[in-house]
Amino acid sequence: MLAIDSEHFWCLTMSEHRAQLRHRALKAGVITFNQAGGISCTLRNVSTTGACLEVESPLGIPATFDLVVESDHVTRPCRVVWRHEHRIGVEFTDRP
């Protein structure tokens, strides 16, 4: 039997609501807003339309922000579509 903790289960169950297939990832990111410092996060999966981010706490993270992935030299504007314990799902708002 496959054992999946509640954090992974949440990201998996959201799949039926996604517009695009997401790919597993394990990349460091920074949530930036209000030209202040950032909140560290980890990209757990990503697609062309959005991502699942692991965070210490979703409290204090605004509804919209920029996601910076320095390893890819990418900054994407995001909108939070769901929050759960240590994970948030975001939609990229700069989609073509």
What is the mean pLDDT for each group of 10 consecutive residues in the chain (96 residues)? 42 50 87 89 95 95 96 96 96 86
In a domain, 15, yes or no: no
- 82 C-beta neighbours (distance < 10 Å), count: 15
Residue type at 76 in one-letter notation = R
In a domain, 65, yes or no: yes
Query: Residue 26's domain spans which residues?
Result: 22-92
- 40 C-beta neighbours (distance < 10 Å), count: 12
In a domain, 73, yes or no: yes
What pLDDT is stored for residue 34 in this prediction?
Answer: 87
Pull the structure tokens for residue 23: 């790919």
In a domain, 48, yes or no: yes
What pLDDT is stored for residue 10 in this prediction?
Answer: 44
CATH number (domain holding residue 63): 2.40.10.220
Number of structural domains in the chain: 1
User: What pTM was estimated for this model as a whole?
Assistant: 0.77
